[in-house]
Structure 1
Amino acid sequence: MALIDDHPVVLQGIESWYATSEERITVTARGSDVSTAMTEPGSAADVVVFDLQLAHGAPAYAQLEELSAHGRQVIVYSMYESQAVALMCLELGAFTYLTKTEGERHLVAATLAAAADRPYTPPALAGAFGCDTSADRPNLSRREIDVLLKWFQSESKAMVGESLGLSVRTVNTYLDRVRIKYANVGRPAKTKANLITRAIQDGIVSLDEL
């Protein structure tokens, strides 16, 4: 994984947290620029911890979007405690959003979740979901919602199919339709974690249910 922050002390601190965590997390690259994480997809740098305020400037949304476009699971780790900023980062493809006040426990847990493509919702992001009032919701059918929710609760698409009486191919078709509908309203959701984020934002599933 890679760390991107323009404060050497922050980089050192995060790496120390990872080194002393129960599940050792290896940092393969660290620096103050997105090029730090621009290795080939499938590398150990697929998970990126990203400071949104590089060089004390405006939020680095363009750099975040670039990382997401290259298939990185980006954990935004920022001093900004703005719900609007958190939601914007999710719209741009971030895996999750943490404020730096949330500390070691949440950052380590989010990193392990990102590596396993499991959703992770820290307290700051949970608050942001509750205040999301955007209107660009896709029009999902009842069956699409049923398949989506069952997939969130299952370990495999085969289990979804068995539960709903569908073939795996049909399950994939429904999930593909959902992704296309989200893409068509400008809110792409390429991974399972992204779809869960969208479903929470849109009130399809609650945090308590997950």
Structure 2
Amino acid sequence: MIKIGLVDDHAIVRAGIKAFLTSFVEFRVVGEAGSGREAIDLVRSTDLDVLVMDLSMPGQSGIDALAMIRAKAPDIGVLMLSGHPAEHYALNLIRQGASGYLNKDCDPQEIATAIRTVALGRRYISPKVAELLAGELDRKDNAPPHKHLSEREFQVFLKLAQGESVGTIGEELSLSVKTISTYRTRLMEKMNLSSNSDLTYYAMKAQLID
């Protein structure tokens, strides 16, 4: 029996995934959460084998929660689901410890396959993500500016691009305002941008935010 936790801010999405998963005799959904913060609480309180987690949620997102979940429960398989194409987030999330990355438009059977794979302690690498990993070796120097950000810089960049203040980001990531400001300065330099509105425009153009 594979014990699964579902994390998505839309209850109807969780209900749909749960209905699909419960059609498999080896799957059991044992907990649900609607935010990154609730996901961390779920991991603390529930015996899980796999966490299926949405990437984009209000407040503490799946990206924010991933590092803390990894620190508290390193053996849990964390499968990220996103409405964004794999090329925008997959490699960053895998570097941060995600066990796999799937687009929400994927065939439902692929979710079942991915859950079985990560429950065994392995990573699920879809053909698309494998292609991206191979491509990284060839085009590192020609990668877009956001690809050169560290994981934490990328995290702060996304939050700034979505209009969050330095203070709010500090609270969400449990970091000081000074530290967040340092990350902001650093990522601005790397991306050759000068304002938060520039960040927002860049993120929207690159389809990193809606």
The correspondence for 1:2, drawn from 2, 5, 8, is 5
Q: Which residue among 64, 67, 79 is the counterpart of 1:65?
A: 67
2:65 pairs with 1:47? no
Whichever residue aligns with residue 6 of structure 1, its letter is D
Match of 2:31 in 1: 29
1:131 is paired with a residue whose SS is: helix
Deviation of 1:48 (Å): 0.5
In the aligned structure 1, how far is the partner of 2:43 from the partner of 2:92?
26
Counterpart mapping for 1:162-177 below 5 A: none
Q: Post-superposition shift, 1:43? A: 5.1
Q: Secondary structure at 1:68's aligned position in 2? A: helix
**1:124 correspondence with 2:131:** no
Listed one character per residue, the Cα deviations across residues 83-123 of structure 1 (whole Å, up to 9, x for unaligned) are 14100001110001111111311111111111121332223
Structure 2 distance, partners of 1:8, 1:47, is 19
Residue identity over aligned pairs, in percent, reads: 23
Residue equivalent to 1:91: 95
CA contact (8 A) 1:110 1:120 kept: yes
Equivalent residue letter for 1:104? P
**Could you tell me the TM-score, scaled by structure 2's length?**
0.55
After the TM superposition, which of the residue ranges 90-99 and 121-130 deviates more from structure 2? 121-130
Q: Is the 8 A contact 2:35 2:61 kept in 1?
A: no
Structure 2 runs not aligned, ≥5 long: 142-210
Cα distance 1:120–1:10, how it changes in 2: closer, same or farther (>3 A)?
same
Alpha-carbon distance between aligned partners in 2 of 1:123 and 1:131, rounded to the nearest angstrom: 12
| Kept in 1: contact 2:85–2:103 (CA 8 A) | yes
The 5 A counterparts of 1:181-192 are none
Cα distance in structure 2, aligned partners of 1:66 and 1:92 = 11
SS in 2 for 1:9: helix
Following TM superposition, by how much is the alpha carbon of 1:46 offset from its aligned partner in structure 2, in angstroms? 3.6
AA at the equivalent of 2:120 = A
1:102 counterpart SS class: coil
Q: Which amino acid aligns with 1:17?
A: F
Report if the CA contact (8 A) 1:5-1:54 is conserved: yes
CA distance in 1, matches of 2:123, 2:13: 24
Q: Pick the structure with more helix per residue.
A: 2
TM-score in terms of structure 1 length:
0.55
C-alpha distance in 1, partners of 2:61/2:135? 20
Structure 2 counterpart of 1:9, which letter?
I
User: What's the C-alpha RMSD, in Å, of the aligned pairs?
Assistant: 2.6
1:20 match: secondary structure: coil
Gaps of 5+ in 1: 136-210
Aligned residue identity for 2:7:
I
Asked if 1:103 corresponds to 2:107, the answer is yes
Partners in 2 of 1:13 and 1:62 — Cα distance? 24
Which amino acid is the alignment partner of residue 76 of structure 1?
A: M
